[in-house]
Amino acid sequence: MNMKELYDAAKSVLPNSYAKYSHFKVAAALKLKNGEVITGINVENASFGLTNCAERTALFTAYTKGYRKEDITEILITTEQDDFISPCGACRQVMSELMPSDALVHLVNNKGESKTVKNADLLPFAFTEDDL
Ligand code: THU
């Protein structure tokens, strides 16, 4: 895995984050098996609940392009913060369905330091299609 490639991609779109209300900019970069990198940012709204997180923006873009979970190998998420971001519950649920359980999730702070976890470890006992 070339984390620098993903980090550079996420950093390049971080300024585009539309974080007008929280001023908490987030960017994500997804790596696909074919080598393609797909980025996403958080997009806020005056109706706060309509905010879309960076992880979900990247994943929904990948799915829009026709990719599916088996095409995705990892995701990197970064912010301007000293601390590592902890993906929100909604994103964990979406990542649990839209990415492989063994996909790597790299959390990177503003110094470029990283912590890597496995997708499945972010949401034990997830709600899945089997529960429907
Ligand atoms: N945010 C993300 O983009 N990803 C996360 O995993 C956590 C939160 C965004 C949503 C909102 O725009 C801002 O960060 C503050 O909550």
68: tokens are 């599916």
Q: What is the pLDDT of residue 127?
A: 95
Q: What is the pLDDT of residue 128?
A: 96
Tell me the pLDDT tens digit for each residue of 108-129.
Answer: 999 999 999 999 999 999 999 9
With 90 as the cut, is the pLDDT of residue 5 above it?
yes
Catalytic residue among 55, 70, 74, 129: 55
Q: What is the pLDDT of residue 2?
A: 72
48: tokens are 């706060």
106: tokens are 């790299």
Please give the CATH number for the structural domain made up of 3-126.
Answer: 3.40.140.10
Is the pTM here over 0.85, yes or no? yes
Tell me the pLDDT tens digit for each residue of 13-51.
Answer: 999 999 999 999 999 999 999 999 999 999 999 999 999
Distance 49 CA to ligand 1 centre (A): 11
* 3-state DSSP assignment of residue 52: strand
C-beta 45 within 6 A of ligand 1: no
State the closest ligand 1 atom to the C-alpha of 86, by its place in the atom list counted from 1: 6
Q: What is the pLDDT of residue 76?
A: 98
C-beta 87 within 6 A of ligand 1: yes
Does residue 107 contact residue 86 with C-beta atoms inside 8 Å?
yes
With 90 as the cut, is the pLDDT of residue 1 above it?
no
| Domain regions of the chain by residue span | 3-126
Neighbours of 88 (CB within 10 A): 14
Our mutation pick for probing the ligand 1 site, out of 51, 60, 86, counting the most ligand atoms within 8 A of Cβ, is 51
Active site residue 55: yes
Tell me the pLDDT tens digit for each residue of 49-74.
Answer: 999 999 999 999 999 999 999 999 99
C-beta 21 within 6 A of ligand 1: no
Tell me the pLDDT tens digit for each residue of 79-103.
Answer: 999 999 999 999 999 999 999 999 9
C-beta 120 within 6 A of ligand 1: no
Rounded Cα–Cα distance for residues 48 and 103 (Å): 30
